[in-house]
Chains A and B, each alone.
Chain A
Amino acid sequence: MSTNTGMVEKYRNNFLKEVEANVEEGEWVKMCMQCGVCAGSCPLGSHWAHPPQEIFMMIRAGKRDEVLTSDSMWMCTSCYNCIVRCPRELPITHIMHGLANYAKRLGLTPKSQPTAWFSQVFWDNMMKKGRVNELKLGLSLYFKDGLVSGIKESIKHQKLGMNMMKAKRMSIAELFGGHGVKDISDLQKIIKKAEEIENARIESYGK
């Protein structure tokens, strides 16, 4: 959390600058002209506590906690409708991803936010072998709230799983080994390096 407090100190009155420096495509936030087309274009629009243009205004108003602890940006389905309709051509989808990632990085994501959780599971699953193991990903989804509810979930979705197996679109073999890149250590080295570079850059802004 040291990073987190550091940011608060440094940017007390200028959350916008923090976002511009540290959030994916954050330098676009100031370009929003508050027309609200994004909010009207979002397929999950009604589920956002703060639609994108409001988030942008909150950033300008310095509402750091409210923005980063919000679960709004986790509602993004990555449908890109807002991007193509934005008259100012803001990469809204990416800004939302960026804000979500930044909130996660600072540990401000609301507890048990399902997409935040799933997103991390996906990343971890993928990073193990370099390719997604769909079976394990699905199972972790069922078992996310513990063994008992996981078994219940599994039973509930048993038919779906069986259907997929029958159609040869899910394989039990994936539990044991499964697909993956050959040079997994190489890939992990690459991504580790990328993470180091990125972390160092963000850390340096807090100092």
Chain B
Amino acid sequence: MAKYEYSYYPGCSSQKGASSSNLSRSVETMCEELDVKLNVIPDWNCCSASIGYGGGGVLPRMTLSARNIALSEKHNVGQDIVATCAACWLATKEAQERFDHDGDLMADTNKALAEAGLKLENKTKIRHMVEVLIEDIGYEQIGSGVKRPLEGLKVAGYVGCQTNRPFGIDGESFENPMYLDKLVDTLGGESIKTYEKKVQCCGGALAFSEPVKSQEMIHGIIESAYDNGADVIATPCPLCQANVEIYQDEINAKYGSKFNMPVVYYSQLIDVAYGRNAKDASLDGQIIKAKKLEDIAGK
């Protein structure tokens, strides 16, 4: 028996060959180290993220999440749902809250679910992996397992939007959440407390539809990391990671900058600090290589 066990909602981008497959690989490694067992919700579906609203109305969108919760309640009985993707977590948690407050919506969604013989109880806690780390495991225990402290690694903790708002992590502020910095410090790294773009929006899904506007914001996020002397940006959010990492060539072309800033996940930092190699930490999934982190992993 693993020490911790959860019902796991990986989300579309975490699948094999998808844009944040490196997140899911590094999370798997992290969970091995922390003795966390993740039971994937069988046959989960997309939550429609925060961009599906143009195509889907409220009830269809909420029902997507209802199906996932119902499936978890059916197959992973009694287990909290844990998501690693900010949008998955947010959409599911938001749906749950609405069902709680709106009996009609709950009744309607159950009418729809009945088409496939499913029923939503809506009694399951919806959590983010970061909450598991902070609330269930705790900084102290995480720190006790560090084998290779991230010495000298200056990390700009980029929390972004949806892991932080509107729910966020309990006890943290919306304007200046500290948990990512605390985690970096716990792992022996050097968090940059003055990183002022910590909760700046990267454009989210609008990075696709409004690239010019979004890249202007991304430019600021990276520039500030450089200004603060960061070696690497770390984030909990897959869309943040992708948006900030993959457009750097395009941004350089447009702004005449020479950005080459690696963007990694908190889970990758833990993997490396726990003594795992670059591959286990899915550092091979970087488009911009996290050289310093690889060096630590190679020690």
A74 to chain B, nearest CB (A): 8
Contact across chains for B115 and A186 when beta carbons are under 8 A apart: yes
For A167, the chain B residues whose CB sits under 8 A away are 22, 284-287
Verify if A143 is at the interface (C-beta below 8 Å from B).
Answer: no
**B:74-132 near A, CB below 8 Å:** 108-109, 111-113, 115-116, 118
For B62, the chain A residues whose CB sits under 8 A away are 194
Contact across chains for B213 and A44 when beta carbons are under 8 A apart: yes
- How far apart sit A65 and B101, CA to CA, in the bound complex (Å)? 31
B119 to chain A, nearest CB (A): 12
A198 to chain B, nearest CB (A): 4
**A:13-38 near B, CB below 8 Å:** 24
Contact across chains for B63 and A130 when beta carbons are under 8 A apart: no
For B45, the chain A residues whose CB sits under 8 A away are 130-131, 181, 187
* B2-40 to A contact mask, C-beta < 8 Å, 1/0: 000000000011011111111000000000000000000
Contact across chains for B58 and A190 when beta carbons are under 8 A apart: no
Contact (A191, B60) CB under 8 Å given A114-B210, A131-B15, A132-B46: yes
Closest to A193 in B: B112
Verify if B273 is at the interface (C-beta below 8 Å from A).
Answer: no
Please tell me which one of the listed residues A24, A114, A174, A181 contacts residue B17 in the complex, with CB atoms under 8 A apart: A174
- How far apart sit A163 and B62, CA to CA, in the bound complex (Å)? 35
For A147, the chain B residues whose CB sits under 8 A away are none
For A137, the chain B residues whose CB sits under 8 A away are 208
Contact across chains for B112 and A197 when beta carbons are under 8 A apart: yes
For B12, the chain A residues whose CB sits under 8 A away are 126, 131-132, 134, 179
B88 to chain A, nearest CB (A): 11
Verify if A159 is at the interface (C-beta below 8 Å from B).
Answer: yes
Verify if A111 is at the interface (C-beta below 8 Å from B).
Answer: no
For B214, the chain A residues whose CB sits under 8 A away are 77
Verify if B277 is at the interface (C-beta below 8 Å from A).
Answer: no
- How far apart sit A93 and B13, CA to CA, in the bound complex (Å)? 23
* A108-140 to B contact mask, C-beta < 8 Å, 1/0: 000000111111101110110011101001100
B248 to chain A, nearest CB (A): 10
Contact across chains for A84 and B166 when beta carbons are under 8 A apart: yes
Contact across chains for A190 and B67 when beta carbons are under 8 A apart: yes
Chain B interface category by residue count: 35 or more
Contact across chains for B53 and A197 when beta carbons are under 8 A apart: no
Verify if A145 is at the interface (C-beta below 8 Å from B).
Answer: no
Closest to B204 in A: A77
Closest to B286 in A: A167
**B:149-194 near A, CB below 8 Å:** 161-162, 165-166, 174
Verify if A63 is at the interface (C-beta below 8 Å from B).
Answer: no
Closest to B52 in A: A123
Please tell me which one of the listed residues A115, A169, A173, A194 contacts residue B285 in the complex, with CB atoms under 8 A apart: A169
Verify if A83 is at the interface (C-beta below 8 Å from B).
Answer: yes
B164 to chain A, nearest CB (A): 8
Closest to B250 in A: A160
A63 to chain B, nearest CB (A): 22
Contact (A78, B22) CB under 8 Å given A167-B286, A187-B116, A195-B57: no
Please tell me which one of the listed residues B19, B116, B203 contacts residue A183 in the complex, with CB atoms under 8 A apart: B116
Verify if B217 is at the interface (C-beta below 8 Å from A).
Answer: yes
**A:153-188 near B, CB below 8 Å:** 159-160, 163-164, 166-171, 173-174, 179, 181-183, 186-187
For A114, the chain B residues whose CB sits under 8 A away are 209-210
Contact (A101, B115) CB under 8 Å given A43-B200, A80-B161: no
Shortest 3 CB-CB contacts between residues of A and residues of B: A123-B55, A119-B54, A171-B17
| Known contacts A115-B205, A132-B49, A189-B116; 7 further A-B pairs (Cβ under 8 A) | A77-B205, A141-B208, A168-B284, A169-B287, A181-B43, A195-B56, A195-B59
Interface residues, chain A, with chain B CB atoms under 8 Å away: 24, 43-44, 47, 75, 77-81, 83-85, 93, 97-98, 100-101, 104-105, 114-120, 122-124, 126-127, 130-132, 134, 137-138, 141, 159-160, 163-164, 166-171, 173-174, 179, 181-183, 186-187, 189-195, 197-199
